[in-house]
Amino acid sequence: MITENDNIQSVAEKAPGAIPIFEKHGMGKYFKPEALKKIGRYIKLETILKSSGINVAQFIEVLNTAAENSGETVNTVHQELHFMAMLPCGLQNPFKELIETHINSHKEQYEGLNYLVEGNLNHVLSYYPLVDSFVSIDELPDIIIASDVNNFLHRPFIEKFIEKGLFEAYLPFTPHNYLDDIGYPDPSNNYTMLTANMLIMAVDKTRLGNRKMPQTWGDILLPEFENDVIIRGEADFFCNAVMLPLYKDFGFDGIRAFAPNVKDGRHPAEMVKLADANKPESATIYVMPYFFSKNIKNQNIEIVFPEDGAITSPVFMLVKKSATEKHKPLLDYIVSKEVGELFVKRLFPSINPNVDNSPLPFTGKWIGWDFIRDNDLAVLKAEIQAVFKAERAKKIEL
């Protein structure tokens, strides 16, 4: 019998006839081969059903009826995931290599450790939306590294887990003060603010012409940059890391002013190609991670560190208070000088006090902990996206 505690990989492997039922109910993305391979054995059936707003008992009854009629049987055990890291593109591969080398060099110490290091899981595997449906801390890995303003900073997670004191920042030293001036460290000591993706402007001076070089984030709202800014995004989604600080400083009026200026949403790697190629679809201003800007070869591109700071998109670590001692060797390595030096080499700051952060922008622009706790971020992000898209639609109609 299929139960709510079965993992979705086993359901897919042993009852493949059930997959069309999931697809019919809008859950097909969880059963793509890549998703199953990476997170399938760690995600319970109950979690994806709750996340999709489906009655768990009724749906499982349908699955078991289908499995019985086809002669399929399911015998599964939910595996525990101890460490999960979801990192920005600039860090994913080198961090993964470093962690794997470390673990493989200490096999006895890490025997039985299940871990997963990936990039952009929020898009590729749709893990972040599942977070809102977790009801028990046992559904979560012992150590989580997550990127951007995601569901781990949303009100449901904060109320269910953070406010109950189930997580504690891991700081075995006085951390580097690089971003202290903007209040980046968590004053409540729940999140370890491990590093940050620093977003800057890359400006094509040839395309800029006689217009004034933008010096602050407010400048990219000016009407002279209409249809001339590219940010991270896709057809139906634009980067919350950019939208939230603009909203904080300028409100919905700022979002409306910014919308007609955004020519397109692209992956940072695509921005680099557009900046170098100077195509019709290129732009004057690119808002991108500092790491990617270093790959631009076009000599006419000037990297601008805005006067009000590089937008600081968070990369944080959550550690279960109950599991800190158990995973102390791994935690010590994650915050070590060796890992910190890798971060800075990739143009991400390090909290290790023995690492030099001087190659990075002089300061950051962070939305702040009061803003996070005073707002229902899931609702706010949806409202911002809706206002932004509505204003862009007006431009398209014209």
The pLDDT score that the predictor gives to residue 396 is 62
The pLDDT score that the predictor gives to residue 124 is 42
The helix/strand/coil state of 3 is coil
Using alpha carbons, select from 296, 295, 290 the residue that is nearest to residue 344. 290
- Looking at the structure, tell me whether residues 132 and 268 fall in a common domain: no
Using alpha carbons, select from 255, 241, 246, 282 the residue that is nearest to residue 389. 255
Stretches where the chain sits below pLDDT 50 are: 122-124
Q: Which domain holds residue 106?
A: 83-196+312-366
- Looking at the structure, tell me whether residues 273 and 216 fall in a common domain: yes
119 beta partners: 87
CA angle 288, 289, 295 (to 5 degrees): 90
Q: How many whole angstroms separate alpha carbon 226 and alpha carbon 9?
A: 47
- Looking at the structure, tell me whether residues 52 and 119 fall in a common domain: no
- Looking at the structure, tell me whether residues 202 and 192 fall in a common domain: no
Structural domain count of the chain: 3
For residue 388, the number of C-alpha atoms closer than 13 Å in the C-beta half-sphere is: 29
In a domain? residue 3: no
- Looking at the structure, tell me whether residues 189 and 97 fall in a common domain: yes
Q: In this predicted model, what pLDDT tens digit does every residue of 171-189 receive, in sequence order?
A: 999 999 999 999 999 999 9
The pLDDT score that the predictor gives to residue 71 is 60
In a domain? residue 97: yes
pTM for this model (two decimals):
0.87
308, amino acid identity: D
- Which helix (H) or strand (E) segment holds residue 362: the answer is none
With 0-12 / 13-18 / 19 or more C-beta atoms within 10 angstroms meaning exposed / middle / buried, residue 118 is middle
- Looking at the structure, tell me whether residues 89 and 154 fall in a common domain: yes
- Looking at the structure, tell me whether residues 251 and 208 fall in a common domain: yes
Q: Do 103 and 71 meet the contact criterion of CB atoms below 8 Å apart?
A: no
In a domain? residue 167: yes
Q: How many whole angstroms separate alpha carbon 279 and alpha carbon 74?
A: 54
In a domain? residue 372: no
How many other C-beta atoms can be found within 10 angstroms of the C-beta atom of residue 231? 25
In a domain? residue 31: yes
CB-based contacts of 323: which residues, under 8 Å, 6+ apart? Answer: 82, 142, 143
Q: How many whole angstroms separate alpha carbon 61 and alpha carbon 282?
A: 53
Token pair listed for 355: 């690492």
Q: Secondary structure of 98-144 in the HEC alphabet?
A: HHHHHHHCCCCCCCCCCEEEEECHHHHCCCHHHHCCCCCHHHCCCEE
302, amino acid identity: E
The helix/strand/coil state of 85 is strand
CB-based contacts of 220: which residues, under 8 Å, 6+ apart? Answer: 201, 214, 229, 258, 261, 285, 287
Residue 170 has phi, psi (to 5 degrees) of -105, 105
For residue 246, the domain's CATH number is 3.40.190.10
Token pair listed for 349: 């700051």
Angle, helices 89-104/337-345, rounded to nearest 10 degrees: 150
- Looking at the structure, tell me whether residues 211 and 267 fall in a common domain: yes
